[in-house]
Structures are given as structure tokens and as C-alpha cells.
Structure 1
Amino acid sequence: MHVTVDITDDATEGFNRRMRVEVPEERIANDVNEQLESLIPTARIPGFRPGKVPINMLARRYGRQARDDAVKKLLYSTFQEALTREGLQLAHGPEITEMNADPGTGLTYTVTLDVYPNIDVPVVETLEIRRPVAEVTEEDVDRMIKTLREQSKIWSKVDRPAAKGDRLMVDFESVVTDKAEENALVETTTPDTASSSEPAALEMMKAEKVTVELGSGTTIDGFDEGLLGANAGEERVLDLRFPDKFYRPDWAGRPVRFTVNVRSVEEGTQPQTDEELVKHFGVRDGTMETFRAETRKDMENKLAFALRAETNKRVVDILLTNNPISDLPKSVVTREANVMSERRRNQFASVGIDLNELDLKPMHFEQQARQQISQNLLFEKLVSAANITVDPGKIRERIEVLASDHQDPKRMVAWYYEDEKRQIPVKMMVLHDQVVDWVLEHAKVTEENISFDALLNPSSNTFTADDANASGEALPQDRQES
């Protein structure tokens, strides 16, 4: 039965659509009759044996409810039919208005929605992708054990000035100023310029009980150095500048003043012997050989994860570069930016940072939101064109990997399978990997040898914005954009 769709473009960005949908009465009647007929075997009405109740009797008793149910179902199904017929992909909405379903008149309604742009299937055969490859060497294991030894320090408070290698617990407040303000500080101010100058934009934040290991290289330039020689209870003011490639682009290169209060100074003591180190990590047989083997295994697992993440990033970057989507529905960008902003707020709140001091407005996440939405659209096109479906075996493998760190892995695996909704994030990760693998199979791929250190050195201070999102660590961490 024909469903009439009349669609017009509104002027809003070119992504807004208004559709007028008309469903004939005959289609509603057929749905109602199907519902009523399904009641015949079980309906119990005085004077009639089970299975013998006339349908007109059922219509008088249950007809109104059956019609309401039919209309609700048809609202959804005919809207989906209209989208398919017009080749539209829903981005935001729908908002249904002007609905009428009076008996005998059929169903009519107006629906307003935002749609995604219609994009072409990305051409992948001409893409040139450098795929990173790496292995864990004995030298890598040596460096990792040295790092683990450093991380195994036992910290004790000391009553002396802070030195390199000490750990400080600090509270700090920071004021991020505009570049123009710094320039203004060194310029000669005249009555004319003073009257015309505008106040510089200030952004403030503060955090409490932040630990800083002096000399670790994890803070922005000058922060560690500015705390050398500080004593517990001392306050220091540090005038610094964020790196030009900072994970927050709006702070990159800007001057910042930190007012730091030192709560305590601590000195670390490393395990002096291999036996002490192995005991510290609870190695089952207490031997260095086993410790090295377990360390290598852990490094290989982390390397595999990092290689996959870096490969995925390179594939996504080249897809976005070669298939730019210049415009997207503002409603969708705003929604995604709100989600990203809230996620970041939760991450900072989890480490005790005062959110009132942070400028985490959704507007700061709009560019990242556009990239994520564009990636999703391109991947959806590839999934459809290549007929890629999620591999249940790979879902199981991923769940087992995620559960391996749990105290009871089998129970954790069972938890995922108790409710299919719990598997949705895992399915999305697996599908993402499958799309990347499909691209790699069809693109021009060359291998690029890379060291474990370059890819996954725990002491490196070069991180992407995504790393900062995932970590939620307190500023002034030197999280640079690579």
C-alpha cells in the first residue's frame, strides 16, 4: 500500500528537512484486523466458546486500542520507509507535528529532522599508508625494568629543600592569559593606548594534592625547575608558557602563571637488589628470570595494543585527509561536542580538579567533534560498500582480553554475555578494527620499522590529545600534540 511522502528543504544549513507523510486508511485497517484476528484463539467473552468470538465483537471491545497500537507502529515504520525512499540518513530528530489519525481518514503527519550529507564511498585503492611494525628487544626489557625499579620507590617525607628526583605534593592555582596581555606588559603605555586597550582574556583553574616528581619530564618546561629548592609549606609563583603544541589548542603557546603551595617534600628509595625488586612485584617463584619473562609478555601485549592504535590513527587520518567533509549539521556537532565536554569534565573530576576553574565549554570540542562525526560517516560508507559484519569470534577475543585484568576473568566474560547491550562498545571497537583491516588489504601499504621506545615509552612526554582525554591527569602535565 502506497505511502505518500512530500519533502521540502528548509533554509537551515541545507541539512534540515520537513516531510509530510500520508498513510492510507486501508493500511491501518489491515494492521488492526491482524491484531484482532490474533486475539481470537484466546479471547474470552461471555456467550462464546474460545476461538469462536466474532471479529466484529472483538472490534467493538478492543478496536480502539488496536488502532492506537497500529498507528504507533506505523509512525515508526513509515518514517523509516520515507527515509529509505528519499535516500536520507537521519542525523538529529525527528520532531513529529500536525499528526491526525482519526478513524476513516488514514494517518497523516509532518516530521522535521536533520540529515547527514550524502557522501561518496571513499576510494581506498590509491591510499598510501605507512604501517608501523615493532618488536620488543632485550634492550627494551632492560630499560623497562630500570623504569619499573624507578617506579618502585618507597617515598618518605623529608625536612629539607626539594632536589631533583624528589616527589612533591602541591596545590596550585593557574591563570592563563592571552598572548596580547604578555606583549602589553613590555610595551610603553600611553594615555591614548591605555584608554583604547581591552582587558585580556583570563582563564583560571586550580587543583589540590597533585604529585610532581622533579626531573621526570612530565610537566611543562620550567615547572619542575621552579620548584627546586622549595620547602614544605612554601609558596612559589611561576611565570611560564604552555608548549606551542599543547593538547588544548586554545592554551597552546599562551602565558600562564602558577601559584604553587608545597604540601610536602618526599625522597624516594629504590629496591637495591634484584631480589628486592622481584619481591616488590610479587613474582610467583621469586626469580629475576621469571620477572623478565612476565615483563616481556606485558610489554608485548602493550606493544600490540599501541601498534593497533597507531595503525588505526594513520588510516583514519589519511581517510579524513583524502575525503574531507566540509559541512555537517550543526545540531549533530553540538550534540557530539557536549558529549566530549562532559566526558572530559568527568575525567578531571575523578582526579579532584575543581571543574569551576576549568574552561571546558562544548565549543572547545567542536573541531574534534567534527572529525569524529566525519570518521563515523566514512566508516559507515565502507561498512556498507564492503558488506563488513562484526565477527563474533573477534568480539569474544576482545572481551577475553578486557577481562584478563579482572580478578575473576571468567566471571567478567560471563557478565558481558548476560546482557547484549554490554557488548555494544566492544562490538564498535571490533568493527572499527575490521574496517581498518579492510582498508589495509586494499590500499598501498608499506611497513615502517619503529622502536618500542618511540611508540610506547612510558617516560615519553609526547602525547596526543586523545591520550590527554583518556588520562584525565591534572595539569600542568606536559601533554603535547604530536
Structure 2
Amino acid sequence: MATVIENLGKLERKVTLAVPQAEVEQEKQQRLVKLSKTVKMSGFRPGKVPMKMVEKQYGQQVEMEVRFDKAARLFFDITKEQDVKVAGQPRFEVKTEGVADGEVAFDATFEVYPEVKIGDLSGAELVRTKTDITDAEVEKTVDILRKQRVHYHPRGEKGEHGDGDGDVVAKNGDRITADFVGTIDGVEFAGGKAEDFAFVLGEGRMLSEFEAAAVGLKVGESKTFPLTFPEDYHGKEVAGKTAEFKITVKQIEWPHLPEVNEAFATSLGIPGGSLEKMRSDIRDNLEREVKRRTHAMLKDQVMEALLKASELDVPKALVEQDQERLVEMARRDLEQRGMPNAKNMPIPAEMFAQQAERRVKLGLILAEIVKANGLEAKPEQIKAEIEDFAKSYEDPKEVMRWYYGDQQRLAEMEAYVLENNVVNFVCGKAKVTEKAVSFEELTAANEGNGQAA
């Protein structure tokens, strides 16, 4: 007669597990004998501790371990035999009432995977953005690459690249080295003083009033000016207050951008310094970036459409497990940022409750839609994606080896391909309209949605 699994609600179940005490005692003794060979006690050599002392010291602990282990194995056998899909880990509680003589019993409470009902997707409305990379985008990227390789020369001093038009006053784009001191009501404040401080005018590293005061000054000149800190300034002690600053310029350097020539292309790793190949590679990289961003935007819409169209109960156990995963991810992130004691930092799991529930819900929906429609990632699809990704690197074959040499990396790419299959499937059911946007609009939209650049 099959063990009865009690239905406690939508997903919660309970089953009573009875284990003969004789079996528990037998395995307990076996474990104690094994333990006695390594246990250490004062006055005895290892392996020579009397069994009575080993049992007195460890008997109760070992017996509980055996009970729970046997209950867990029995639980696994019963759920497997009855084809019960257990979600998360069961909770075992010792049962004291209604237990037959010669037995130990546990109540195992657990959840099962829900039935996932995916509704009609034909009414979902999706927007597929389309962005063409023009010559203008390519040239803007060339300019960005030039600015990343900028080098500076003292204003007014003749050198290999000139003297900065002979002008000696500070302009936007110049790198300024200066001393400054700030006071509020005549008193200096923390962070308001520095010597030989370098910054580039126009980059926005300093507050706008500070940069404006430096523009037009010459080396050796000083200027005193008022500066009002914003109400939301990161330095709480000065936020919203007006300070008086004195700045003294010690050096002014003008920026020299490298010319777009063979030497520049070679510095970017272009064989032979071909400008045509450089621009072609830039275009290819931009088009890959467009593909990634537009796909991310479409995928977000698809996931929202699936959430709206699906009906299911979410197992609490899976949500709790995912909350813990998110907590650990947060700790690792803090650790990578150099936060002290990040591993032990108390992070309440509750703050991830909503995010975890959404992740679990989507995972269950995706699993169901993949299974029902045969959308599993095929080896040739995974290979094609890796090859496409590897194109942006100097040695694509090495990137291929890097992926195929690690099962976790390969699994991540498999998950990406699987999501692509789901996106394509849903797009085939839904109403999809195309919208042309510029590269700048696409970038702004992704940043607004919190997408990684």
C-alpha cells in the first residue's frame, strides 16, 4: 500500500515517514564504530577510545543524524515512486503522537511544482527596434577612441605638436593643476582643500561653478568665488550651503588628440594600420552592440508578456532559495568593490523578495514553454552564438576554447540561446511592430531601463 501524501493547500503537501528503530540503532552502531577509529579524547590514543565513552559522547548526535538521513532517503523514494515533483527542500519535524512501537517518525512538509497555464499570446503587442549604423556613428566612435588616447602639453610651450595656439589661458578641455581651499563662514571644512589637484575642464568632475571660475585664468593667477553646494550633494555636512573658494592655477595643459592615420589604427590592433579595416571593425562592433541592445529590449517585453499571460502559483521554498542566492550575489558584488567584511555583512533577504518571486515565476514559465514547444537549445545554435561573440576578439579560436573548456560558461551560453528561442517563439505568436531609432536613442533607452552598456 502506497504511503499517503496529504494535500495541505495549493502547493503544500505533507507525508509521514516511519523508520524502524532497530534499523536506526544498527546504522548508529556502525557509524559509532567508524567514528571510534578517529575520535580523540584526553588520555587515549586515537582509535583506542572505549566504545562506551564514544557512545556517551556522540551517541545522541549520531542517532539524530541517522534518523534524519533515513527519513530523507525514505522521502526521496516515496516521492520518486509516486512521481511527485518536489519544489525546494522538505522540512522534517519529529512526530511524537500516533507513532507505533519500535518506530521513529517524521512529518515531512514540502511544496510541489505548480501547473503553469500559458494563455493566448496573440494579443501581446511587442515593439522591435531597428537601428542602422551610419558613417556618422562610426566617426563618432573614432572620436571617442581618439579622446581615450589624448595626451596633454603645457600651454604656450612649443613642442612636437605645437604650443596650443599660443594661448596661455585655461579653456574647456584643458587639464588644470591647481591648489584650492574652501571655507564656510571663514572656517575650512573637510574635503574643501587640496594641493596639486588635477582635473579636466568640461568633464564635469567638479561642480560647474568651480570649473567656470578656472576658465580664463593663467598659470600663477588666483581667483576667489562663491560656490553653493546642491541640496543633494554627497557631502551631507556641506549640502545646500554656500562656501567661498580660492583657486590658484599652477599648470595648464592643452589636449592633443592623435591623428587618424596608420599609426592610430595600428595602436588599435589593426594589422597593417589599415584605416578601411579599422572603420569596418568599428562598424561590426557597433552592429553587434545594436543587436545585443535591441534583443535585450525585446526580451524584456517578451518576459512581461509571458508574465501577464500566465497563471501559476509560486512555491515559497523556491522564492526563499532565490532570495538567498541574491543575498550571496550582493555580498560578492560588495566584496569585489572592496567593501570590508562584505562576506559577513547582514543583508536582509526580504529586500529581494519581489525580485526573487519574479525570477522564480519566469523560470517556471520558461521551463514550461520550452518543454511544451521543443525550444531546447541545440548544440549548433550554441556554437553559432559563441562564434558570433568570438568575432569581436583578436583570437576567436581562443575564445571558443575558453567557452568549451568550462561547463559553467557553456551552460550560461546555453541559457542565453534558450531565451532567444523563447523570444523568437513568442514573437511568432504576438503582434510585432518595428520602430526605427537612432543609435543615441537606443543607448539612452537601454540606460533608462537599467541595461548594462
TM-score by length of structure 1 reads 0.57
The change in CA–CA distance for 1:7 and 1:286 in structure 2 (over 3 A counts) is same
Residue deviations 1:290-344 (CA, integer Å, cap 9, x gap): 2211211221222222222222122223333555879773624632541453354
Task: Assess, with a 3 A threshold, how the Cα gap between structure 1 residues 462 and 300 changes in structure 2: closer, same or farther.
Answer: closer
Contact residue 348 and residue 355 of structure 1 kept, 8 A: no
Tell me the secondary structure at the aligned position of residue 463 of structure 1.
helix
Q: Secondary structure of 2:284's partner? A: helix
Q: How far did 1:129 drift? A: 0.9
**Per-residue deviation at 1:429?**
1.3
In structure 2, the residue matched to 1:147 is: 144
Deviations 1:3-34 (A, max 9, x none): 4322435xxxx76x352155899xx9xxxxxx
Identify unmatched segments of 5+ residues in structure 2: 24-67, 156-167, 178-197, 216-223
- Say if 1:136 and 1:346 are closer, same or farther in 2 by CA, change over 3 A: farther
Aligned residue in 1 for 2:14: 19
1:338 to 312, 327, 347: 327
Shift of the 6–300 alpha-carbon distance from structure 1 to 2, 3 Å rule, reads: same
**What's the CA shift for 1:438?**
0.9
Alpha carbons 1:275, 1:286 under 8 Å: kept: yes
Are 2:4 and 1:4 aligned? yes
Instruction: Note if 1:463 corresponds to 2:452.
Output: no
Relative to structure 1, is the Cα distance of residues 461 and 114 closer, same or farther in structure 2, using a 3 angstrom cutoff?
Answer: same
CA distance in 2 between partners of 1:3 and 1:24 (Å): 13
Q: 1:239 to 1:70 in 2, by over 3 A?
A: closer
Aligned equivalents of 1:96, 1:20: Cα separation in 2? 10
Deviates further, 267-276 or 421-430: 267-276
Following superposition of structure 1 onto structure 2, how do residues 222-241 of structure 1 map, counting pairs within 5 Å? 223=207, 227-229=211-213, 238-241=229-232
Helix, strand or coil: the match of 1:130?
Answer: strand
| 1:433 pairs with one of 417, 420, 423 | 420
Aligned to 1:304: 291
Uncovered stretches (5+) of structure 1, i.e. residues with no partner: 29-67, 170-210, 243-250, 472-482
Q: Which residue of 2 aligns with 1:94?
A: 90
Provide the rounded CA distance (Å) in 2 between the counterparts of 1:135 and 1:448: 11
Instruction: Tell me if 1:165 matches 2:152.
Output: no
Residue 96 of structure 1 aligns with an amino acid whose one-letter code is F
SS at match of 2:376: coil
Contact 2:111 2:315 in 1 (8 A): no
1:437–1:168 distance in 2 versus 1, CA, 3 Å: farther
Out of 289, 292, 300, the residue aligned to residue 279 of structure 2 is 292
**Residue 141 and residue 409 in structure 1: after superposition, are their counterparts in 2 closer, same or farther (change >3 A)?**
closer
Which is greater in Rg? 2
Alignment counterpart, residue 424 of structure 1, candidates 389, 405, 411: 411
* TM alignment of 1:262-301, pairs within 5 A: 268-301=255-288
Question: Taking structure 1 as reference, are residues 416 and 3 closer, same or farther at Cα in structure 2, changes over 3 Å only?
Answer: farther
The one-letter code sitting in structure 2 at the alignment partner of 1:143 is K
1:154 Cα deviation after fit? 2.4
CA contact (8 A) 2:13 2:112 kept: no
Residues 1:328 and 1:132: Cα distance change in structure 2 (over 3 Å): farther
- Letter paired with 1:342: R
Per-residue displacement from partner, 1:215-257 (whole Å, max 9, x unpaired)? 457x8xx9556555469xx9x8832549xxxxxxxx9xxx977
Query: How far did 1:166 drift?
Result: 5.0
Distance 1:378 1:461, change over 3 A: closer
- Give yes or no for contact 2:174–2:252 (8 Å, CA) kept in 1: yes
Q: Is 2:76 the partner of 1:76?
A: yes
Q: Secondary structure of the equivalent of 1:132? A: strand
- Equivalent residue in structure 1 for 2:108, among 105, 108, 111: 111
- 1:177-219 CA distance string (max 9 Å, x none): xxxxxxxxxxxxxxxxxxxxxxxxxxxxxxxxxx9865457x8
Give 1:238's aligned amino acid: F
Identity %: 22
- How far, CA to CA, are the matches of 1:414 and 1:99 in structure 2? 54
Once the two structures are superposed, what CA deviation does each residue of 1:266-301 show, in whole Å capped at 9, x if it has no partner?
754211343453243242122322221121122122
CA distance in 2, matches of 1:168, 1:97: 70
Size of the aligned set, in residue pairs, is: 361
Selected match of 1:447 from 431, 434, 445: 434
SS at match of 1:285: helix
Taking a change above 3 Å as real, the CA distance of residues 281 and 415 of structure 1, as seen in their structure-2 partners, is: closer
Q: Is the alpha carbon distance of 1:129 and 1:20 closer, same or farther for their aligned partners in structure 2, counting shifts above 3 Å?
A: same
In 1, the alpha carbon distance for the partners of 2:210 and 2:353 equals 35
Give the TM-score taking structure 2 as reference length. Answer: 0.60
> Do 1:3 and 1:23's aligned partners in 2 also have CA atoms closer than 8 Å?
no
**Cα distance change on mapping 1:355 and 1:418 into 2, 3 Å:** closer
Task: Give the aligned residue type for 1:434.
Answer: N
Partner Cα distance (1:116, 1:395) in 2 = 29
Q: Is the CA contact (8 Å cut-off) linking 1:4 and 1:23 kept in structure 2?
A: no
SS at match of 1:4: coil
Q: Equivalences for 1:304-453 in 2 at 5 Å?
A: 304-323=291-310, 329=316, 331-332=320-321, 334-342=323-331, 344-346=333-335, 348-349=337-338, 364-404=351-391, 408-453=395-440
Shift in Å, 1:413: 2.8
User: Structure 1 pair 120/461, CA: closer, same or farther in 2 (3 Å)?
Assistant: closer
Q: Structure 1 residue 143: deviation in Å?
A: 2.2
Describe the shift of the 1:389–1:273 C-alpha distance in structure 2 as closer, same or farther (beyond 3 A). closer
| Partner Cα distance (2:199, 2:80) in 1 | 56
CA contact (8 A) 1:71 1:107 kept: no
* Other-structure match for 1:136: 133
Q: Is the 8 A contact 1:154 1:268 kept in 2?
A: yes
